[in-house]
Amino acid sequence: MQPTIARVALPVPLDKTFDYLLPGGDLPIVGGRVVVPFGRQSLVGIVIEISEKTEVSLQHLKSISQILDRAPVWSTELYELLRWCSQYYVHPLGDVFNIALPGALRKKRRAEFTSIKEWRLTDIGRNQLMSNFGRAVKQAKVMQMLQSGSVSHQEFIDAEVGSTVLKTLQDKGWIESLETLPKIKHWPSAVESEQEKPTLNQEQAIAIAAVNNVEGFACYLLDGVTGSGKTEVYLNLITPVLERGEQALVLVPEIGLTPQTIQRFESRFNVPVEVIHSGLNESERLNAWLSARDKAAGIVIGTRSAVFTPFEHLGIIIVDEEHDASYKQQDTLRYHARDVAIMRAHKERIPIVLGSATPALETIHNALSGKYHHLQLTKRAGNATPTTNKVLDIKGLYLESGLSAPLIAEMRQHLEAGNQVLLFLNRRGFSPALMCHECGWLAECYRCESYYTYYQKNNEMCCHHCGSRKPVVRQCQSCGSSHVVTVGVGTEQLESHLTDLFPEFKSIRIDRDSTRKKGQLESALASILKGEYQILIGTQMLAKGHHFPNVTLVALLDVDGALYSSDFRASERFAQLYTQVAGRAGRASKKGEVVLQTHHPEHSLLQGLLNSPYGQFGKMVLGERKMALLPPFTHLSLLRAEANDSAVAELFLRQVRLTLESNPLFDETCMVLGPTPSPITKRAGKARWQMMLQTSERSLMQKILLSSKPVIQTLPESKKVRWGIDRDPQDLS
Ligand code: ADP
Ligand code: ZN
Ligand code: ZN
């Protein structure tokens, strides 16, 4: 029989594929993109099969309207990986495909390099470089940026130069634009640059040999204390891969993607390095994607979604800071990039290295059980010295914007010795709440079950759950009193207070608010390294991967919240945070000190952490997890439901519970907990409920979810709620 139809996966929230008639002329290709009519829309989908059979009668079928690709978008291995993601995360295949595609290819763009618009000086313009631009500061900035060569249009936009400024200069005849295709560089025969490399220590050499000695798939945990030279190991592992003509994928956490990291890869190798991050525009991202696919790039460094980058010949995957929470996608396809990367390495039959100073407990468990090879770097590289730590009991002490007198004295010592001090406070804004001093009323977001954070500088209140902003309340909405006070301390308040406390030293704040604009984080980090600031204030953003050789004192201002949390991962998270933050101190030859302020110095978690290295602490917590039947000893999926009406969300989950429990596969090793209201019971106006499914076997979890989902979708309540499945949930709120 003649093939008559194409089965197409479309980016719609339905667990099915759609049949379309083949167009006249060329046949579409399996794994390639096509454009099809869908209702009143036209969608881009992936052909997954060409067939002569369809269950729909032919006269009801529509035709494919356009064929976009002549070749499959992905290799067989990557295509299989995406199918695995769809099954494992119980997510529609068409949507998985869509998420894995770069934005440009989700639209009807061709999978071809696109030209990038650039600007350069004309001869007339070059003669104007010395002119006085007076108040035309933006024009002066453009001319200055162009002084040493052409600059892309996007770079100007990022530098907050608008199109009109460029147009003005173009009209004057001083600058001109040109469209250029990215230059495809050829790989040189010497993949490494001439740069001097440190002599490896014994542990590093052993780790490198271990990975190089095995062929095919193997998973390694590179368990190395902060500053022990893990990056140096990665670089050494990549060299032979490139020499064989294969490529390397390096995954980094969102915030770990700093110029420092990228620069180390770029300066070590002569092959092109592509960096994939959220700041790229659509064309840049497509070019990076193509450059990896066509082996123009030797190394791709990227955040979470880079795990789906196509390669002509991938030779190794490295996941740096593998414990980092940003590897887990928190909406739609809730994948964990580390876990997907391991599956990818397996399918591609290549090694994967997971690096961390504070591995996830799941990873430690796999290393202890022999599933992963355990490689250890126990000493700091170079001449860095270990830190000392001190618990400061602040019970009854007066705190000035969160700082106790002994800490202030300690800070003064370090500052006066010419060193930098890092203050860690995981709370943005001026204060985490505003309260009526007369009656205790708290300003609460009307759309969420949460208090407004107060921002003094912008004179507004902001809800960190839904992002809504409001002018500051001047009057209590309960008793009418105008005596509204701030409660608690956030980084903004700490910053303003430090200026009074240490007028002779400069401080800088690094959190999500102060680094919202592109380039802000980079320039802040650069000025810290140059020593322009002596006091660094930061949230967990500052705890990650940075190398500040002059920081000798790190203080955690408030650790009590972490000691009393209901989330079973809280102790693991806190241990990671503490170890990472502490790792910022004494990275160079200067001795570092860590101070923790707490009201509970005797707390067992704190004592356990301070008195044993992270790995040993991890084993202890794993023991507790085993007793409590928690991951990694069991498997979890969180089912969430949101609705305007709380009762509807609860009722829906009750029905889901019945569905799960009546599944023939559900046995005595399975358990359902809930439904219960979510820890954040209301967000953006929606009531939130959740329920946990626990199984002892991973494969059973998979089978139960896959076979129950179609039944759940037929529940009448399912139409009235927004619901989703979160496999291996990381965030239980
Ligand atoms: P990590 O990634 O574990 O934090 P890095 O690879 O960044 O550690 O190494 C920390 C510092 O030590 C870097 O400045 C690096 O250049 C240096 N370093 C790494 N390995 C060695 C070595 N074998 N000898 C001397 N210095 C080293
Ligand atoms: Zn809100
Ligand atoms: Zn009041």
pLDDT tens sequence across 214-235:
899 999 999 998 888 999 999 9
- Say whether pLDDT at 308 is over 80: yes
Surrounding ion ligand 2 within 5 Å at CB are 445, 447-448, 463, 465-466
Ligand 1 atom 19, closest CA: 229
Tokens of residue 295, six digits: 């082996």
pLDDT above 70 for 383:
no
Q: How confident is the model at residue 565 (pLDDT cuts 50, 70, 90)?
A: confident
- Residues whose beta carbon lies within 6 Å of some atom of ligand 1: 198-201, 204, 224, 226-232, 381-382
> What average pLDDT score do residues 396-403 get?
93
Q: Residue 450: nearest ligand to its CA?
A: 2
Q: List 640's β-bridge partners, or say none.
A: 690, 724
Measured in angstroms, how far is the CA atom of residue 444 from the centroid of ligand 3? Answer: 13
CA angle at residue 433 from 429 to 436, to 5 degrees? 140
Interval between CA 582 and ligand 1 midpoint (Å): 17
If you average pLDDT over every residue of the chain, what do you get?
A: 91
Q: Is 232 exposed, middle or buried (CB count within 10 Å of its CB: 0-12, 13-18, 19+)?
A: buried
Residue 58 pLDDT > 70? yes
Return the ligand 1 atom nearest residue 224 CA.
3
Ligand 1, atom nearest to 200 Cα: 23
Is pLDDT of 587 > 60? no
* Ligand 2 centroid, distance to 432 Cα (angstroms): 13
pLDDT at 541: 82
Other Cβ atoms less than 10 A from the Cβ of 407: the count is 24
Do 329 and 304 touch, CB atoms closer than 8 A? yes
**Burial zone of 200 (CB within 10 Å; 0-12 exposed, 13-18 middle, 19+ buried):** middle
Å from CA of 381 to ligand 1 middle:
5
Structure confidence at residue 183 (pLDDT): 67
Average pLDDT over residues 67-90: 96
Q: Going by CA atoms, what residue is nearest to atom 26 of ligand 1?
A: 382
Atom of ligand 1 at shortest range from CA of 226? 4
* C-beta neighbour count of 651 within 10 angstroms: 20
Q: What angle do CA 314, 316, 322 make, to 5 degrees?
A: 125
Q: Give the pLDDT score at 722.
A: 96
Task: Return the higher-pLDDT residue of 332 and 549.
Answer: 332
Burial class (CB in 10 A: 0-12, 13-18, 19+), 35: middle
Q: How much is the pTM? A: 0.90
Please name which ligand lies nearest the alpha carbon of 484: 3
Any idea which ligand is nearest the CA of 682? 2
* CA 95, chain centre distance (Å): 20
Highest mean pLDDT among 97-101, 544-548, 564-568, 576-580: 97-101
Q: Is 670 annotated as a binding residue?
A: no
Mean pLDDT of 140-157: 84
* Residue 710 amino acid letter: P
Cα first-last separation, the chain = 54
Instruction: Tell me how far the alpha carbon of residue 722 lies from the centroid of ligand 2, in angstroms.
Output: 18
Average pLDDT of the segment spanning 84-112 = 95
Q: For the chain, what is the radius of gyration of the CA atoms?
A: 28
The pLDDT of residue 601 is 94
